[in-house]
């Protein structure tokens, strides 16, 4: 059992929810939780719970998740839930983890709201002063769609080798100026930033279409054993 403490707008159609952390609740970065309603009359009874990656780090007092607000009854109810209302949580669970060897580079290939488990990993690694070499490729449609952008860019202050590569697939529709990468994450884009492709551990996180498209790219240039995947199936 938990309570909704506050809600924060992250970008158009994207919110962060801060939940009370139950006493004794332990997790590691990359874990998921199921979040369910208790007494919601206007919700589809077959759709009362959804799975979310925990975006906050284990050292933080609250649990933070991020959600895309869609037209289905669950997301509508989540977006309108009164502050202080109780929720059910189940977990944590999942096997998505940051590798233990801090000398081995970590390459994150992330789409949209899939940044949430990576944010937890980076916050905790920075807190523990684990100085991984990190490459973060972060794909969104427009600059204004990229949640936690400023915090992600600031991780350069926590890791001695941190390369942040945002890219936007529909930047022509944006009202914000951008002079960096555009288009989907590609083999050529990865090669522009990483010289030794065989050394890193790769992490692919995002909606199914982005994940499988990126996997096709990676499978042509690196060994499949060096790739970990977190597929955000059913992004609605």
At 127-174, the pLDDT tens digits run 999 999 999 999 999 999 999 999 999 999 999 999 999 999 999 999
pLDDT at 39: 73
Q: Which domains does the chain have, with CATH numbers?
A: 2-93 (2.40.30.10), 106-232 (3.40.50.80)
Tokens of 206: 């995002």
42 pLDDT more than 80: no
pTM for the model stands at 0.94
DSSP string, 141-184: SSGGG-TTHHHHHHGGGT-SSEEEEEEESSGGG-SS---SEESS
pLDDT at 234: 45
Tokens of 169: 């697939």
**Cis before residue 168, ω within 30 degrees of 0?**
no
Tokens of 139: 């794909």
pLDDT at 41: 62
45 pLDDT more than 90: no
50 pLDDT more than 60: yes
């Amino acid at each position: 059992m938990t309570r909704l403490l506050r809600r924060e707008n992250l970008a158009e159609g994207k919110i962060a929810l801060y939940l009370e952390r139950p006493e004794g609740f332990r997790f590691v970065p990359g874990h998921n939780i199921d979040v369910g309603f208790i007494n919601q009359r206007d919700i589809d009874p077959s759709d009362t719970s959804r799975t979310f990656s925990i975006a906050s780090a284990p050292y933080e007092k609250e649990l933070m998740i991020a959600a895309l607000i869609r037209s289905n009854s669950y997301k509508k109810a989540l977006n309108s839930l009164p502050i202080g209302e109780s929720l059910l949580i189940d977990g944590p669970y999942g096997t998505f983890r940051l590798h233990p060897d801090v000398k081995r580079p970590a390459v994150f290939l992330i789409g949209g709201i899939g940044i949430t488990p990576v944010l937890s990993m980076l916050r905790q690694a920075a807190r523990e002063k684990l100085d991984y070499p990190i490459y973060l490729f972060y794909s969104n449609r427009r600059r204004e769609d990229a949640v936690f952008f400023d915090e992600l860019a600031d991780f350069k202050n926590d890791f001695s080798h941190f390369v942040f590569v945002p890219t936007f697939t529909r930047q022509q529709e944006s009202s914000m100026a951008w002079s960096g990468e555009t288009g989907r994450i590609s083999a050529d884009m990865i090669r522009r930033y990483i010289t030794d492709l065989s050394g890193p551990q790769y992490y692919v996180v995002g909606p199914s279409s982005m994940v499988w498209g990126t996997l096709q790219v990676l499978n042509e240039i690196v060994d499949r054993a060096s790739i970990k995947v977190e597929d955000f199936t059913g992004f609605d």
